[in-house]
């Protein structure tokens, strides 16, 4: 096995990987596609903390080696690899609720991710995929799982207006999920390209940089303003926008696919007595997310994605890093691993 590992800031090297012999029910998976996200680029730039590990927090592939009698998990099966590991020793894990683990680890940050040719994992971290889900679609199961966690945390109801600030691919996916649950997202962005992508995805209320967000939201909601607001990390929009769009005593969720640092003032939130939620992962929602994809609840075809080969990973991440410095924004890149 080999993969692209951070050996020091701004440096990736292809290294030989060893299997974790302590893992029970070890299964080897040939990775076919992986996803490079903002989190990977920030790790490369040493802007978020992490270990010296193989990058890539999303991976999909086929089973190449496995033990017998693993409930249909046979060689050649198309699988998604769950990118989170529970500590097993914290109070929530011991109480049988590992999805709420206090020390949850993430692939590509805390342990080796999926920018590798193979990965060896516990069979319990593998989810077999229906034939109607493509490898590319499966790469977004983690983001769909995070979106499900946001909807659950905010307890969004049918017909409820939800302001979503930030229309990157995750903001788009979250808005589509809200529509599927019969809520009404109001998606906001300062990027014209993201605005058009959102409209192509069928999101009806999309506000751009030339719109008066507070005035338009007031009109859309009949003057009530949303009782749920989602601020997508890395959208480069002032956090105060989330507070100004929320009604008094509303809930504001901070979330996103990376943990980039933001400067946040809570003065306006305190004045409005807002409920603040921080949602970092979608652990426990993988099976539900696969079901959503299988039932075509989320349309990923309008999303903007780049594509590259495994051999070009260092150049890809270097280019994405430069683009992030220049424009403050990047889109995910799908890596084909052959």
Residues 101-110 pLDDT 10s? 889 999 998 8
Q: Count helices and strands (H / E) in the chain.
A: 11, 17
Query: How far apart (Å, rounded) are the C-alpha atoms in residues 41 and 237?
Result: 20
pLDDT band at 100 (very low <50, low <70, confident <90, very high): confident
pTM of the model: 0.94
The arrangement of strands across the sheet holding 228-232 comes to: 205-207, 184-188, 161-165, 228-232, 251-255, 275-279
Residues 250-282 pLDDT 10s? 999 999 988 666 677 788 889 999 999 999 999
């Amino acid at each position: 096995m080999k993969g692209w590992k951070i050996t020091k800031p701004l440096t990736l090297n292809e290294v030989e990987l060893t299997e974790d012999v302590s893992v029970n029910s070890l299964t080897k998976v040939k990775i076919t596609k992986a996803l490079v996200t903002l989190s990977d680029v920030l790790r490369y730039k040493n802007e978020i903390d992490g270990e010296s590990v193989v990058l890539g927090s999303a991976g999909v592939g086929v089973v190449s080696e496995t033990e017998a009698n693993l409930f249909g998990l046979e060689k050649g099966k198309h699988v998604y690899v769950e990118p989170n590991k529970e500590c097993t020793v914290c109070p929530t894990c011991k109480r049988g609720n590992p999805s709420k683990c206090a020390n949850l680890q993430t692939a590509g940050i805390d342990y080796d991710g999926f920018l590798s040719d193979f990965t060896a994992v516990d069979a319990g971290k593998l989810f077999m995929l229906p034939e109607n889900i493509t490898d590319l679609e499966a790469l977004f199961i983690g983001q769909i799982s995070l979106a499900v966690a946001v909807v659950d945390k905010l307890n969004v109801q049918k017909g409820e207006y939800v302001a979503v600030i930030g229309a990157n691919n995750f903001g788009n996916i979250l808005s589509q999920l809200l529509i599927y649950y019969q809520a009404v997202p109001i998606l906001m962005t300062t990027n014209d390209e993201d605005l058009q992508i959102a409209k192509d995805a069928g999101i009806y209320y999309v506000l751009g940089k030339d719109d008066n967000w507070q005035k338009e939201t007031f009109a859309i909601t009949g003057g009530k303003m949303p009782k749920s607001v989602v601020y997508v990390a890395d959208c480069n929009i002032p956090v105060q926008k989330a507070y100004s769009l929320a009604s008094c005593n509303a809930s504001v969720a901070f979330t996103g696919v990376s943990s980039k640092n933001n400067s946040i003032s809570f003065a306006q939130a305190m004045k409005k007595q807002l409920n603040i939620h921080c949602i970092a992962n979608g652990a426990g929602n993988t099976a539900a997310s696969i079901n959503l994809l299988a039932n075509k609840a989320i349309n990923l075809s309008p999303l903007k994605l780049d594509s590259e080969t495994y051999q070009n990973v260092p150049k890809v991440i270097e280019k994405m890093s430069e683009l992030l410095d220049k424009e403050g924004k990047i889109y995910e890149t799908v890596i084909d691993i052959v």
